[in-house]
Amino acid sequence: ADLVVLAAPVDTCVELLATAASETSQTCVVTDVCSVKLPLCERAAQVCIEARFVGAHPMAGSHRSGAAGADPDLFRDRVTVVVESGRAQHDAHVLVTALWRAVGSSVLEIGAEAHDRVTAMTSHLPQMVVFALAAAVGRSPEQGLVRALTGPGLRDTTRLAASEHAMWTSIARANRMSLLVAFDTFSEAWTELRAAVAAGDEAAMMRVMGAARDARAAMEADTSGGEAQQPGNREGGES
């Protein structure tokens, strides 16, 4: 094979790297689609395939799993991270980048540590919040009324609670330090909003909600088509 793609939970892919090192040729490029990058990059170095390993992470997915959840357009117009490790051969990096562009992704090249730190906030924390929200709703003693009064807002918000639990426990373990920092940031915002509600402080509630609206608007404004912008190359950012 010219290219092997590891697509499994993070801890499984970490173990599979040793198999890839021993069972593939020295010219075979190895990549992955895991949501946490640093453990794989470190393992690739341990099993001596860092020159032909290029980590990747498509920022796309679904709560569905298995063949029934397949979507031929899953990666189209989505960002895929291709890790800048400084260790992979240029040709290996080019091949993995070409793979993701071929399926319609734009490519963002960043380091593994930066990827794990930021996706803890943008991907892993939202998933954990959804798990907690759905679990909290499930603890209500009035489940009959809860089901009768569940509208599209709660259904849409908790859709990700149906995600594969084994995959997410693997992600949480692998990226736990960055995820804990994200938890703390969320807790600060949650505590501020709770205090405002408890005090009946409309102005304080509006400040939190307004900041949330602005953050959401910034996300929408930043999802323009085309190749993903590199950090520091955005208008007004660092050069």
In this structure, what are the phi and psi dihedrals at residue 96, rounded to the nearest 5 degrees? -70, -40
My answer on whether 95 and 138 are in the same domain is no
Q: For residue range 71-97, list pLDDT tens digits in order.
A: 888 999 999 999 998 889 999 999 999
Residue 237 lies in a domain: no
Domain boundary among 110, 138, 158: 110
Verify that 22 and 54 share a domain, yes or no.
yes
Residue 9 sits in a domain whose CATH number is: 3.40.50.720
191 and 126 together in one domain: yes
9 and 101 share a domain? yes
Q: What stretch of H or E contains 54? A: strand 53-54
Q: How many domains does the chain have?
A: 2
**Domain span at residue 106?**
3-110
pLDDT value at position 8?
Answer: 92
Exposed / middle / buried, residue 88 (Cβ in 10 Å: 0-12, 13-18, 19+) = buried
Residues 82 and 180 grouped into a single domain? no
Identify the CATH number of the domain in which residue 169 sits. 1.10.3660.10
Instruction: Compute CA distances 199 → 194, 195, 202, whole Å.
Output: 9, 6, 9
Bridge-based pairing of strands 53-54 and 3-6 is unpaired
Whether the per-residue pLDDT at 180 is higher than 90: the answer is: yes
Instruction: Give residue-wise pLDDT tens across range 165-174.
Output: 999 999 999 9
* Average pLDDT, rounded, for the chain: 91
Q: What is the mean pLDDT of residues 45-61?
A: 94
pLDDT confidence bin for 239, thresholds 50/70/90 = very low
In this structure, are 84 and 126 located in the same domain?
no
pTM: 0.86
* Domain shared by 92 and 35, yes or no: yes
Question: 35 in a domain, yes or no?
Answer: yes
What's at 116, amino acid-wise? Answer: D
Residues 78 and 126 in one domain: no
pLDDT over 80 at 68, yes or no: no
Region 182-193 average pLDDT = 98
Verify that 73 and 129 share a domain, yes or no. Answer: no
Percent of the chain with pLDDT strictly greater than 70 = 92
Which of 110, 135, 163 is where one domain is finished?
110
State the amino acid at position 49 in one-letter form: I
**Alpha-carbon separation of residue 94 from 75, 82, 84, 125, 171 (angstroms):** 18, 10, 12, 31, 27
Per-residue pLDDT of 95-142, as tens digits, reads 999 999 999 999 999 999 999 999 999 999 999 999 999 999 999 999
Q: Are 212 and 138 in the same domain? A: yes
Q: What is the pLDDT of residue 230?
A: 55
Which amino acid type is present at position 141?
P
- Taking a C-beta distance cutoff of 8 angstroms, is the pair 158, 138 a contact? no
Query: From CA 53, how far away is CA 82, in angstroms rounded?
Result: 11
Domain endpoint, select from 66, 85, 110: 110
* Residues 43, 102 within the same domain: yes
The residue-averaged pLDDT of 200-210 equals 98
Q: pLDDT at position 101, please? A: 97
Confidence tier at 145 by pLDDT (50, 70, 90): very high
